[in-house]
Amino acid sequence: MRSKSEEKRQNILNAASEVFRETGFEGASMSDICTKAGYSRATLYSYFPSKEALFLEIMLAGGQSQADAITSALDPATPNVEESLVHFGKALLTFIYSPEILALRRLAIAEATRSDFGHLFYTRSRKQGEIVLTAFLKQAMDAGKLRQADPAVAVAHLSGLLESELEEMFYRSEITPLEPLYIDRITHSAIDVFMAAYGARG
């Protein structure tokens, strides 16, 4: 059974979801959310410090299970690092280039110069994935499955390779899901290049 505090927090999230759906992020205000939820501004701010934090909580909650499934592909005990990275890459691209998540990423970039939304989005989402991927690559390097290198730099290179053919997606007016065969081709191409650079020598 949820506590009163948890119930109140969920009520705020539900009210905020309705307001965001009705008015969009730009048109929504904390006052509107207070009115919809039936709580004071002090109560609202005691749970969420800003509209950006509230919006981010709503958006990320729906994708958390999928994000967990993506990182679960990175099994440190795997004998085939390349295969694990392919599974990871395909799942990652399918998720971060879905219409909902891509729209959120574009919003984070647009808001970066006006609020802390961009930074919040990065630390709550992409940064968490980078931490898991860095640990995976380091363990693979220590086990001799990849050549020794700075794993954080390797993560940056891998991310760049996976997204290198998809930059135009950020500039399209209409966002549609990527075809599985297209994602498969892009992922294999990116991992081929990554393994050529970071594969174990000899």
Residue intervals of the chain classified under CATH 1.10.10.60 are: 1-48
State the pLDDT at residue 86: 96
At the fourth CATH level, the homologous superfamily of domain 51-198 is Tetracycline Repressor, domain 2 (1.10.357.10)
Banded model confidence at residue 32, pLDDT cuts 50, 70, 90 = very high
Cα atoms found within 13 Å of the Cα of residue 98, Cβ hemisphere only: 13
What is the maximum alpha-carbon separation in the chain? 66
CATH 1.10.357.10: which residues of the chain? Answer: 51-198
- Tell me what pLDDT residue 65 has: 65
So what's the pLDDT on residue 181? 97
- Mean confidence (pLDDT) of the chain: 88
Q: Which CATH architecture best describes the domain 1-48?
A: Orthogonal Bundle (1.10)
Question: What per-residue string of b and e applies to 124-161 under the rule 16 or more CB within 10 Å gives b?
Answer: ebeebbbebbbebbbbbbeeebbeeeebeebbebbbeb
Averaged pLDDT for residues 164-171: 91
**C-alpha triplet 169, 174, 177: angle, nearest 5°:** 65
pLDDT of residue 17: 84
According to the model, what pLDDT value does residue 62 have? Answer: 61
List pLDDT tens digits, range 36-88. 999 999 999 999 988 888 888 887 776 666 777 788 888 888 899 999 999 99
